[in-house]
Amino acid sequence: MRSLKLFIALFLGSLLLNTGCEPDYDVPPITVPEASVKANTTILELKTEFTGDLDSIGYKTGTTPYIIEGVVIGNDVSGNIYKNIMIQDATAAITISLDGTNLYNSYRLGQRLVINCTGLYLGKYRNLQQLGYPGTSGISFIPLPLFESKAQLNGLPDSPADTLQIKISDLPAAFPELAKYQSQLIELKSVYFVDAGQPFSLQGKSISRTVKDTLGNSIVVYNSGYSNFYTDILPSGLGDIVGILSYFNTGYQVLLRSRADVFNFNGTPVPEPPVDQDNSETNPYTITQAQTRQGETAVWVKGYIVGCVKNGSAVVSDGEFVAPFSSQSNILLAATAGETEIAKLMPVQLVFNTDPRNQLNLKDNPANLGKQVLLKCDLTTYFNVTGIKNITEFKLLP
Amino acid sequence: MKHSLCLFLILMLSFTVHAQKTGFTGVVTDAESGKPVPGVMVRLLGQDIAVFTGPAGDFLITNATRGKDMITFSSAGYGDVQKEVIGVTDRITDLGKIKMSATDSPYATDDDGLITFDESQIDDDAGTGQTIGNLSGAYDDVYLSTASYAFGTTRFRIRGYDSDYTKIYLNGINFNDPARGQFNYSMMGGMNNAFRNKDIISGIDISNFSFGDLGGATNITTRASEYAPGFRGSAAYTNRNYQWRVMMSYSTGLLPSGWAFTFNAITRLGENGPVDGVFYNSIGYFLSAEKVFNQKHSLSVTTFGAPTQRGQSAATYEEAYQLAGDNLYNPNWGYQQGKKRNARVVESFDPTAMISWLYKPQTGTTVSTGIAFRHSRYGSSALNWYNAQDPRPDYYRRLPSYYSDNPILDALYTNLWENDEQFRQINWDHMYEVNYLNNWENQNKGSDKGSTYIVENRFSNQTNLFFNSHINHRLNDVMTLQGGIGLKYTDAHYYKTVKDLMGGEFWLDVDQFSERDYPNNSDILQNNLNNPNFKAKKGDKFGYDYNIHSIVGNAWLQNNINLPQWDIYYGLQMAYSQFQRFGNMRNGRAPENSFGKGKIHIFNDAGVKAGVTYKLDGRNFFIFNAMYETRAPFFGYAYISPRIKDDIIPDLQSERVLSGDLTYRFSYPRFKGRITGFYTNFYDQTDATSFYHDQYQTFVNYILTGVRKSYKGVEIGLAYKITPSVTVTGVATFARYQYKNRPTGITNYENGSRADTTQTVYLKNFYVGGTPQQAFNIGVDWSAPKMWFFDINLSWFDKAYVDLSPLRRTQEAVNFPLEGNTQTEIMHYFDEKAAEITHQQKLKGGFILNASVGKLIYLTRSSSLNINVSLSNILNKKNLQTGGYEQGRFDFTNFNVNKYPNKYYYAQGFNVFVNVGFKF
């Protein structure tokens, strides 16, 4: 019995020894982050100082780094923007390429960020100026841990963003003015989707949807097939669109941050402006019109040179949209610059040893990319689609 | 079928074999352990009559003449026992228990805590701890006793079999898990003293308490009267999974009143052990009471349990181990407010109660009947995240190799891994910040966001009712009969709960992966359409919730014949099993096939088994055993994606097993051992694995059906006494465990975003992974004067392979673009690249040196103190891989096998176990 008592005593003793469960961890306190450094450079200053395709950002003076501060105006919260955030200060905005997904958890809209840019790179990807890091070719994504060591959160995500209200026709076409507008948060009032009724995008694909104002000026809204709203239907009628003013090759594209960036649409379909019957040099067909007028001969057509079908191919889906180009025998025209959607492209035949080929083909004249051209020609099938042949007159527009 | 078997049993019992005969009966037991000794030659010297004891140690002589005679009992390894007896006409005289003492002390004994093995060496999660089944008790088999403890660290599995082929019984009640087949050793809480009385059957040898199984069977007896009376206590320190262990037990022995009691308690704890982030908290209790009513009846009640909480370590990439500079690197933990927090914590508790009734109507007949109730609760925590970066530090996009084509990034990540502990561990504070910001946006911006990061607890609980009854009955002088029935009812419950919202307000119960694939279908992403968009709070169930009810029954019968030169046995088993899923949620990916009662699945199985022993003389034996059986699939592997829906694997069928072994065994006073050759074929096996598919953002279930495997090899175990106190042992296994056909693989995407695909998997002649196929050990044991004990063991193991990913052996996996200018070049390129993709990595094997020293001090005649120090991996080898597996994913874009590299486990370096025990 003595042993039993000893057993019980020791058993109870050993229970005390054993604290028995997973420790209660201290819950981290709620802290308002405060950046330890202050900005010494505006975003516009940075963008105008480093204008190359891949510029290493060194020290401003001595050992003073370039430090910018901005408010997050764009991120990947809906999945429509991918591996990018955009920040804005009073002077301009900039896209930051980051090698990470779900960035919006750390970089929320309205979050102020102070970034020590020294050690990072500023460069252009398809003519979009951005803060990045060297990739296999040109500017690419900043490794997230590197960015985290460079960027400090400053305060809670409660800073308001400035939305630039702007007309499509007021957008500048070239640097250095571009620097001010690229990556800005803009609002387009009273515009409509040409493809109203279609979904924003298709699963896994990216689709450019043309938006026009009532004057017929157009811009592309570029939608990802990975967003959480890509199956939504483009609303009809006139409405307002907010988004990041991004850029691709030679043209603007608007990036929506979420479905809520498309609003106030009134549902009344907007008819395409009627085609002026007397086609002339001063009143040429747009590419969209030309595509519906197959068979007409000796008409005037105006469009943007966006690329060519690669040498040896006879299908438009083999389009080349960036230099170097391989074909001298054709070019591709579209209603908007930077267009790559196959259905919106019109192939133009360039006959050997003629002026149109010598002066328009992109292989020999890569600078023609993005330029507008005016043609007198026949509208006839080429590469099995609505195309252009028999150019009798042509003008490259400045 | 069951009915006819029962009827047969009753018929056999009704024979009254003892009438009108003259002779003797009795039971031969081991003087020390009290266990029956089978195969003992019982001779009446004056009449030249000899019989042999059966599996239950009993014997019967019926053809004696009346009058005085000498009866002798002899068996190799035991000293002869002689008795004078008097035969009475027409009477079978019961000689009762005849005790025989072993001539050589048991090879290894944990009697005084001297055994070096401790279950702290075993990773409880591996579920492959078959070796432990043969622990500390395989007295008479040099091979088993050595293999079970010397090879412990290498995850050695005897004959390579998975643990579900070994059956474990407590008082004759089978406790193998009905869901997955294995025995859960952690439910015993490490109370070695409570579970030390064992009957171990190796391989497909004959057993007297069960039909047995491929990997053998063990019956642990917990009847209180069988524990030596007295108090035992021990305290141990180790630097393994835990650090401290305090154990004690108290047994009354059989009291004059017919009662016997035994109590056990244990506590184990550890923190800041050799593996960072791993902690261990466990207590255990064991109570057993027995009432011996009379010679015929005794009733015993046992209850035990061991609530345990432990932080786990995880296998990771070779790259991560190297970068961290530590083969015990553990990616599961991180600092939270300066304290190490482990994301993967297991909480388990399996309280068990059982009643067993032992009925001995006559000498030579024993009926053991038992019923057990168990409720097991097993929760395993893990991080979960919603539209956020994978927070696990060894996520492949955080490893330098992911950036191998960019030297700058490679260097950047390498530097972070090598020098920034924060980076290579979990960042808890960051996850809290994100959740806090969600709360802030809810308050200030009117959003309705739950936690982005949580810790979830995945439960797999079971309620079991087990029933077993078996009989041992002597038919006549040479024949005994064994038979039994078993029944298992199980209600398994699988679900998960929110363990910690980590500062957030709730967890939104939708499937984010479906959200990506079906953004416009709010139904499909619901985990529970009966409670859509549920905002789970702490402790709430979410994600999945289903039960599986199962009934498994079996009946077996066996006839055993012991002749002077031959022992022969044959047996038959019939089994029935059924299971059915009950969904408690209506899943949006299977709205019509997830909620409520599912289909009932029924399997009928049978097995036959036979063996013959040729006894050349009393010291040399040749034994041949063979078995053929069909085995129903376990319900834990039968469903394609049970969390979602009620679909089982197409054409699910019982697997078939054919096995045979041939043994030569010898036993001389100084030299004993055995050589066994075994050959086993498995047919129609089904294998299911699941993994997270990064690219498709869904869980993928990969199922192999119609798998054929072959296991063959030779086991050798020899023990030679150089002097009476010094024994040298040698143990070896040469084996080969291989796949032998091209099974069919089915890929199933759990969110239904892609249709199931079926392909042929080219597995023929690849190795079955996970266990060394060659292992050797040389040991020296010295029982020195003055109660000192020394032993030293040098083991070598090799030919263990990583577990295969079937996807890498499909046509799709070698359908890469070809390179080369000539046909020869192209073919050469194909051969090389295909070989690289299909190559199965061999794990790094090598030598392990273990030693132990023990000292026993008698304080008084009945009380003693023992001290034992055991040193493992003395050479401090840290590069031995104890396990590994290929990832389920494969890079079908670039066919780069290194994109999803293998994951490995490493052996711990030098470690110790120090135990001080006392008893009185």
**Residue range A97-123, pLDDT digits in tens:** 999 989 999 999 999 999 999 999 999
Mean pLDDT along residues B108-132: 38
| More confident call, B469 vs A4 | B469
* DSSP single-letter state for residue B643: T
Residue among B850, B857, B869, B859 at smallest CA distance from B915 = B869
Say if residue B112's pLDDT is above 60: no
Q: At A99, is the secondary structure helix, strand, or coil?
A: strand
Round to whole Å and give the CA distance between A6 and B280. Answer: 26
Round to whole Å and give the CA distance between B486 and B470. Answer: 8
- Phi, psi dihedrals of residue A291, rounded to the nearest 5°: -65, -20
In this prediction, residue B187 carries a pLDDT of: 87
Q: How does residue B157 score in pLDDT terms, banded at 50, 70 and 90?
A: confident
Say if residue B9's pLDDT is above 70: no
- Write out chain B residues lying below 8 Å of A22, CB-based: 279, 281, 309, 311, 345
- Write out chain A residues lying below 8 Å of B519, CB-based: 227-231
Alpha-carbon separation of residue B200 from B122, B145, B364, B675 (angstroms): 20, 11, 21, 18
pLDDT, tens digit (0-9, with 9 covering 90-100), for B202-228: 888 888 899 999 988 989 999 999 898
In this prediction, residue B694 carries a pLDDT of: 67
In this prediction, residue B184 carries a pLDDT of: 87
Q: Which of residues 509-538 of B touch A (CB under 8 A)?
A: 515-517, 519-520
**A135·B337 Cβ contact <8 A:** no
Query: CA-based angle B137:B141:B143, to the nearest 5?
Result: 110
Alpha-carbon separation of residue B275 from B241, B286, B334, B465, B547 (angstroms): 8, 30, 13, 38, 36
Round to whole Å and give the CA distance between B801 and B774. Answer: 11
Say if residue B893's pLDDT is above 90: no
* DSSP single-letter state for residue B386: S
Show the tokens assigned to B425: 């561990």
CB-CB: which of A3, A18, A228 is closest to B281? Answer: A18
CB-CB: which of A20, A156, A229 is closest to B440? Answer: A156
* DSSP single-letter state for residue B329: -
Query: CA-based angle B301:B307:B310, to the nearest 5?
Result: 150
Residues 6 or more apart whose CB falls under 8 angstroms from that of B252 comprise: B224, B229, B259, B260, B261, B262
Q: How does residue A15 score in pLDDT terms, banded at 50, 70 and 90?
A: low
Residue with tokens 């460069």: A123
Q: Which of residues 117-156 of A touch B (CB under 8 A)?
A: 133-136, 143, 145-146, 156
Residues 6 or more apart whose CB falls under 8 angstroms from that of B236 comprise: B118, B244, B245, B246, B247, B913, B914, B915, B916
In this prediction, residue B509 carries a pLDDT of: 94
Say if residue B113's pLDDT is above 50: no
Classify burial at A38, counting beta carbons within 10 Å of its beta carbon; exposed 0-12, middle 13-18, buried 19 or more.
exposed
Angular region, B423: left φ>0, alpha ψ -120 to 50, beta rest: alpha
**A7·B267 Cβ contact <8 A:** no
Check CB contact of A106 with chain B, cutoff 8 Å.
yes
In this prediction, residue B111 carries a pLDDT of: 41
Say if residue A49's pLDDT is above 90: yes
Q: Where are the alpha helices (DSSP H) in B325-420?
A: 407-419
Check if the beta carbon of residue B379 is closer than 8 Å to that of residue B541.
no
Mean pLDDT along residues B429-443: 94
**A26·B515 Cβ contact <8 A:** no
Round to whole Å and give the CA distance between B621 and A301. Answer: 102
pLDDT, tens digit (0-9, with 9 covering 90-100), for A166-218: 998 888 877 778 888 999 999 999 999 998 999 999 888 889 999 998 888 88
User: pLDDT averaged over chain A?
Assistant: 88
A contact test, residue of B232, B261, B349, B387 with most A CBs within 10 A: B387
User: pLDDT averaged over chain B?
Assistant: 87
The 10 Å CB-count burial string (b at 16+, else e) for B436-455 is bbbbbbeeeeeeebbbbbbb
Check CB contact of A371 with chain B, cutoff 8 Å.
no
Q: How does residue B110 score in pLDDT terms, banded at 50, 70 and 90?
A: very low
Round to whole Å and give the CA distance between A392 and A378. Answer: 9
Angstroms from A229 CA to nearest CA on chain B: 7
Helix (H) or strand (E) holding B367: strand B365-385
Say if residue B515's pLDDT is above 80: no
Check if the beta carbon of residue B241 is closer than 8 Å to that of residue B120.
yes
Residues 6 or more apart whose CB falls under 8 angstroms from that of A289 comprise: A275
Counting residues of chain B whose pLDDT is more than 70, the rounded percentage is 93
pLDDT, tens digit (0-9, with 9 covering 90-100), for A329-341: 999 999 888 888 8
Mean pLDDT along residues B615-637: 92
**A26·B341 Cβ contact <8 A:** no
Say if residue B517's pLDDT is above 70: no
Show the tokens assigned to B259: 């009662």
Check if the beta carbon of residue B304 is closer than 8 Å to that of residue B194.
yes
Q: How does residue B693 score in pLDDT terms, banded at 50, 70 and 90?
A: confident
Check CB contact of B429 with chain A, cutoff 8 Å.
yes
In this prediction, residue B676 carries a pLDDT of: 95
Q: Which residue in chain A is spatially nearest to B412 when comparing CA positions?
A: A146
Whole-structure pTM value: 0.85
Round to whole Å and give the CA distance between B874 and B913. Answer: 12
In this prediction, residue B239 carries a pLDDT of: 86
Say if residue A237's pLDDT is above 60: yes
Q: Where are the alpha helices (DSSP H) in chain A?
A: 2-17, 43-49, 144-150, 177-181, 287-291, 355-360
In this prediction, residue B220 carries a pLDDT of: 92
Say if residue B444's pLDDT is above 80: yes
| More confident call, B111 vs B368 | B368
Q: Which residue in chain B is spatially nearest to A2 when comparing CA positions?
A: B231
**A7·B250 Cβ contact <8 A:** yes
Round to whole Å and give the CA distance between B8 and B848. Answer: 53
Task: Count A/B contacts: CB-CB distance under 8 Å.
Answer: 121
- Write out chain B residues lying below 8 Å of A141, CB-based: none
Round to whole Å and give the CA distance between B498 and B455. Answer: 6
Q: How does residue B131 score in pLDDT terms, banded at 50, 70 and 90?
A: very low
Check CB contact of A10 with chain B, cutoff 8 Å.
yes
Mean pLDDT along residues A59-82: 94
Q: How does residue A312 score in pLDDT terms, banded at 50, 70 and 90?
A: confident
* DSSP single-letter state for residue A33: -
Say if residue B811's pLDDT is above 70: yes
Say if residue A267's pLDDT is above 50: yes
Mean pLDDT along residues B279-306: 94
pLDDT, tens digit (0-9, with 9 covering 90-100), for B315-355: 888 899 999 998 889 999 999 988 899 999 999 999 999 99
Residues 6 or more apart whose CB falls under 8 angstroms from that of A260 comprise: none
Using CA atoms of A51, A53, A59, A60 in order, give the dihedral in degrees to the nearest 10.
0
Say if residue A45's pLDDT is above 90: yes
Least confident stretch, A286-295, B706-715, B881-890:
A286-295
In this prediction, residue A27 carries a pLDDT of: 84
pLDDT, tens digit (0-9, with 9 covering 90-100), for A74-95: 999 999 999 999 999 999 999 9
Mean pLDDT along residues B308-313: 90
**B423·A228 Cβ contact <8 A:** no
Check CB contact of B230 with chain A, cutoff 8 Å.
yes
Q: Which of residues 239-278 of A touch B (CB under 8 A)?
A: none
**A106·B434 Cβ contact <8 A:** yes
- Write out chain A residues lying below 8 Å of B311, CB-based: 22
**B267·A136 Cβ contact <8 A:** no
**A21·B309 Cβ contact <8 A:** yes
Check if the beta carbon of residue A241 is closer than 8 Å to that of residue A212.
no
Say if residue B130's pLDDT is above 60: no
Check CB contact of A19 with chain B, cutoff 8 Å.
yes
Residue with tokens 């009290």: B34
Mean pLDDT along residues B825-844: 91
In this prediction, residue A217 carries a pLDDT of: 85
**B406·A3 Cβ contact <8 A:** no
Mean pLDDT along residues B264-291: 90
Residue B32 CB: number of other CB atoms within 10 A?
16
Length of chain A: 398
Q: Which residue in chain A is spatially nearest to B521 when comparing CA positions?
A: A231
Residues 6 or more apart whose CB falls under 8 angstroms from that of B914 comprise: B236, B237, B238, B867, B868, B869, B870
In this prediction, residue A339 carries a pLDDT of: 85
